[in-house]
Amino acid sequence: TSGFPMVIATWNVNDSTAEAWRVLKEGGTSIDAIEKGCMIEEANAEGQSVGLGGLPDRDGNVTLDACIMNKEGDYGAVVYLQNIMHPISVARKVMEDTPHVILAGKGAEQFAYSEGFKKVDLLTEKSKKAWEAWKKTSQYKPIINIENHDTIGMLAIDENGDISGGCTTSGLAYKMAGRVGDSPIIGSGLFIDNEIGGATATGLGEEVLKTVGSFLIVELMRQGKTPQQACEEAIGRIIKKTPNFKDFQVGYIAVNKKGETGYYAIHDGFWVTKYQNDKNENFASDFYDK
């Protein structure tokens, strides 16, 4: 299927795509759809990889990464942000209201307060219990899929055909203090070129960063590949360089100017949600390691 308006996101996030779709159907812009859609998952305390309720780092601190990109190719990001429920909105403020593109840690948090964001304790009882249980063994090993990997990456096209994207996460559970993943880094966790399309990633950020996956996918589409072919080649790049690919998951989604989509992962268990042609649907992604 193709056509727009449309929105596609990593994982099963039907409420987020429904909210983005609502914005798009009312004639809203893709950048508004992205922000509003991502905010739904950030505020969901049950989701343990994004915003409120995100699993903490090894020391028990929830630290968030997010970025957003618009049709002009402008970009804004926050990394290692604490105590703020909606990093996607802070990222948008960085993009629109500052001369910079990335703000980190305390500086990002101070900026958020100055823009009127409220201080929120993001560590829920459920995530605190999970962290305390983890501390007993303190084994650090990324877990494939689900719990550990439901970063929301979202791509939207509005009725004018303009593309925007966003990506927001609490990063890998029990990461080292100070660790920043792929999600807020332009070209890795997200890339948009309104002439071509967009791509976004989920999974083990270190591997996405090393292959600059989302930029790669957009460039492959520029060379004529379909979104599906481009996602498969970007996964292939990781497989080729990383003999231990059995131990971690990466999933990509992509969209081109026509609203054609693609998605692919290393392992089984990656899902995407797409709202297009008035239907909100979940799809199981195809994968490399069969």
Strand pairing class (75-81; 102-104)? parallel
Q: Tell me the C-alpha to C-alpha distance, in Å, between residue 83 and each of 98, 106, 153, 199, 279.
A: 21, 10, 21, 28, 35
Residue 172 lies near ligand SD4 (rule: CB under 6 A): yes
For residues 136 and 93, what is the distance between their CA atoms, to the nearest angstrom?
40
35 binds ligand SD4 (CB under 6 A): no
Nearer to ligand SD4, 4 or 131 (CB): 131
Q: Is 242 a catalytic residue?
A: no
Cα–Cα nearest to 183, from 199, 163, 168: 168
Among 42, 182, 219, 232, binds ligand SD4 (CB under 6 A): 182
202-227 in b/e burial notation, b at 16+ Cβ within 10 A? Answer: bbbbbbbbebbbbbbbbbbbeeebeb
Least distance in angstroms from the C-beta of 29 to ligand SD4 = 26
Region of 225 on the Ramachandran plot (φ > 0 left; ψ -120 to 50 alpha; else beta): beta
Q: Which of 10, 151, 168, 200 is catalytic?
A: 151
Is residue 149 near ligand SD4 by the rule CB under 6 A? yes
**Which residues, 36 to 75, sit near ligand SD4 by CB under 6 A?**
49
Q: For ligand SD4, which stretch binds (CB under 6 A), given 200-208, 227-235, 238-246, 262-270?
A: 200-208
Shortest Å distance, C-beta 270 to ligand SD4: 10
Helix axes 213-222, 227-241, angle to 10 degrees: 130
**Minimum CB–partner distance for residue 176 and ligand SD4 (Å):** 12
- Contact pick of 37, 203, 213, 262 for ligand SD4 (by CB under 6 A): 203
Residue positions annotated with a catalytic role: 151
Residues that bind ligand SD4 (CB under 6 A): 49, 149-151, 169, 171-172, 181-183, 202-205
